[in-house]
Amino acid sequence: MFDPALTPPEAARWARRAGLALPADRHAAVSATADHIHSVVAVLRELNFGDTPPAPAYRVAAAKETHDAAV
């Protein structure tokens, strides 16, 4: 799936749509940040978490641990 990069004018348009005031000098920085986030999320989507238990399983296991000050 090819997703073209978010251009600064598109970043401004999406900001306006969301009701955000985005100064013109921030358009390029916002579009670059959004593109970076998109690339990181794309990598995460490719990971296979098939046998990984959900997060609550780890919280329950951590709560059962006993901690002592022994080194």
Predicted pLDDT of residue 35? 93
pLDDT surpasses 80 at 70: no
| Mean pLDDT calculated for residue range 8-32 | 94
Q: Which of 23, 20, 18 is nearest to 8 (CA)?
A: 23
Digit-coded pLDDT (tens) for 21-58: 999 999 999 999 999 999 999 999 898 888 888 877 77
Predicted pLDDT of residue 18? 96
**The residue to which tokens 């998109």 are assigned:** 38
Q: Which of 13, 9, 59, 3 is nearest to 35 (CA)?
A: 3
